[in-house]
């Protein structure tokens, strides 16, 4: 039995896991990796989490897959300036993990990896053309065309979170303004809600004992909180515009949405689908289905494992 170590690195949390060649998880460990801790501490904690799952799986790792936000250099295994991972620029992740676990390591954009995972193990297994969209700390995209990942000239295609929606909108970590992820990522939803609380004293979000998150906004909206409904509705409208743009450009059979914000279920999928049906060209909108990731919040991890399998076996 082959054992594959997968690492999904995020700006809020990360996951390490070991699976066999069929994608059956043997062990996995989710840890918090907030950017406030900095890259040195977060990377060390990710390595310790990986140590733990490798030990639980009995060792003997054949290959390692790493999914991380881009832009990045797949060939050298090195990160460029990643919008949602400040301070990680220049780190050669493949070298770090390969030396730690004495196995070949492969790096890919986290959303591209998740798309490969959905193609191999999930909702895209029977479809040749689809787009995977992760809506979490940021927003990223992975593109499958003709059954193969499309990475673009520099291996960084799919930065859907940086489509411009409002040209003079909120500042983005990428250096631009009004990017999709500044309007409807989990981070954006929490920021927008927190920024409007003082003008909405009646909102139940004022009574939270913990910082506002996209999840708490969704819960308040589901309970009829007027302010939360407005914040959530605006975010889902903007997300729908982003998806409509993708549909118009790529004409995919599926748009698969994963990431933490997608846990909202119908509260996300229904308004996004309505906006796509209204704003994308009719023939293209009629072609597409917008569905949740089969791998759920493990989509990034399963993607990293799928990348390792694909690259190692080739």
Which residue is it, tokens 């743009």? Answer: 245
pLDDT at 22: 94
Domain harbouring 197, CATH code: 3.30.420.40
- Number of neighbours of residue 188 by Cβ within 10 angstroms: 27
pLDDT at 83: 80
pLDDT at 103: 98
Evaluate whether residue 121 is within a structural domain.
Answer: no
Evaluate whether residue 13 is within a structural domain.
Answer: yes
Regarding whether 239 and 208 lie in a shared domain, the answer is yes
Q: Is the pLDDT of residue 314 over 90?
A: no
Regarding whether 279 and 173 lie in a shared domain, the answer is yes
Q: Give residue-wise pLDDT tens across range 227-285.
A: 999 999 999 999 999 999 999 999 999 999 999 999 999 999 999 999 999 999 999 99
Regarding whether 208 and 153 lie in a shared domain, the answer is yes
Q: What is the DSSP-derived secondary structure letter of residue 51?
A: H
Place 11 in a pLDDT band, splitting at 50, 70 and 90.
Answer: confident
Regarding whether 265 and 307 lie in a shared domain, the answer is no
Regarding whether 251 and 143 lie in a shared domain, the answer is yes
Regarding whether 68 and 43 lie in a shared domain, the answer is yes
What's the rounded mean pLDDT across residues 293-301? 93
Regarding whether 204 and 272 lie in a shared domain, the answer is yes
Regarding whether 260 and 242 lie in a shared domain, the answer is yes
| Structural domain of 31 | 4-116+297-313
Q: Give residue-wise pLDDT tens across range 55-101.
A: 999 999 999 999 998 899 999 999 998 888 999 999 999 999 999 99
Evaluate whether residue 21 is within a structural domain.
Answer: yes
Regarding whether 136 and 268 lie in a shared domain, the answer is yes
- 3-class secondary structure per residue, the chain: CCCEEEEEECCCEEEEEEECCCCCEEEEEEEECCHHHHHHHHHHHHHHHHHHHHHHCCCCCCEEEEEECCCEECCCCEECCCCCCCCCCCCEHHHHHHHHHCCCEEEEEHHHHHHHHHHHHCCCCCCCCEEEEEECCCEEEEEEECCEEECCCCCCCCCHHHCECCCCCCECCCCCECECHHHHCHHHHHHHHHHHHHHCCCCHHHHCCCCCCHHHHHHHHHCCCHHHHHHHHHHHHHHHHHHHHHHHHHCCCEEEEECHHHHHCHHHHHHHHHHHHHHCCHHHHHHCEEEECCCHHHHHHHHHHHHHHHHHHC
Q: What pTM does this model have? A: 0.92
Which residue is it, tokens 């994308």? Answer: 280
What's the rounded mean pLDDT across residues 140-162? 95
Regarding whether 101 and 135 lie in a shared domain, the answer is no
Regarding whether 289 and 236 lie in a shared domain, the answer is yes
Residues 6+ apart with CB under 8 A from 9: 33, 46, 66, 67, 68, 69, 85, 93, 110
Number of compact structural domains in the chain:
2
pLDDT at 297: 87
Q: Give residue-wise pLDDT tens across range 164-185.
A: 999 999 999 999 999 999 999 9
Evaluate whether residue 122 is within a structural domain.
Answer: no
Cβ density class 16-50: b for 16+ within 10 Å, e for less: bbbbbbebebbbbbbeebebeeebeebbebbbebb
Regarding whether 172 and 105 lie in a shared domain, the answer is no
């Amino acid at each position: 039995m082959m054992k594959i170590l997968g690492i999904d690195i995020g700006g809020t949390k990360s996951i390490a896991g070991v699976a066999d060649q069929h994608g059956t998880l043997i062990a996995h460990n989710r840890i918090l990796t907030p950017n406030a801790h900095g890259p040195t501490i977060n990377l060390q904690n990710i390595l310790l989490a990986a140590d733990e799952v490798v030990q639980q799986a009995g060792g003997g790792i054949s290959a390692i897959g790493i999914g991380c936000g881009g832009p990045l250099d797949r060939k050298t295994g090195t990160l460029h300036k990643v919008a949602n991972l400040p301070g990680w620029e220049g780190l050669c992740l493949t070298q770090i993990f390969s030396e730690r676990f004495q196995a070949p390591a492969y790096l890919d954009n986290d959303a591209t990896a998740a798309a490969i995972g959905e193609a191999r193990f999930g909702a895209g297994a029977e479809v040749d053309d689809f787009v995977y969209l992760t809506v979490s700390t940021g927003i990223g995209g992975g593109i499958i065309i003709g059954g193969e990942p499309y990475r673009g000239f520099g291996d960084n295609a799919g930065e859907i979170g940086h489509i411009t929606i409002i040209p003079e909108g909120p500042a983005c970590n990428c250096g631009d303004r009004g990017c999709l992820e500044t309007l409807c990522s989990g981070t954006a939803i929490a920021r927008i809600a927190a920024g409007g609380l003082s003008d909405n004293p009646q909102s139940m979000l004022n009574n939270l004992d913990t910082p506002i998150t996209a999840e708490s906004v969704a819960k308040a909206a589901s309970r009829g909180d007027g302010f939360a409904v407005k914040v959530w509705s605006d975010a889902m409208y903007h997300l729908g515009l982003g998806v409509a743009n993708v549909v118009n450009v790529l004409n995919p059979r599926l748009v698969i949405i994963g990431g933490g914000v997608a846990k909202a279920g119908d509260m996300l999928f229904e308004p996004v689908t309505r906006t796509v049906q209204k704003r994308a060209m009719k023939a293209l909108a009629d072609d597409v289905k917008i569905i949740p990731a089969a791998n759920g919040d493990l989509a990034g991890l399963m993607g990293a494992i799928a990348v390792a399998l694909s690259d190692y076996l080739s």
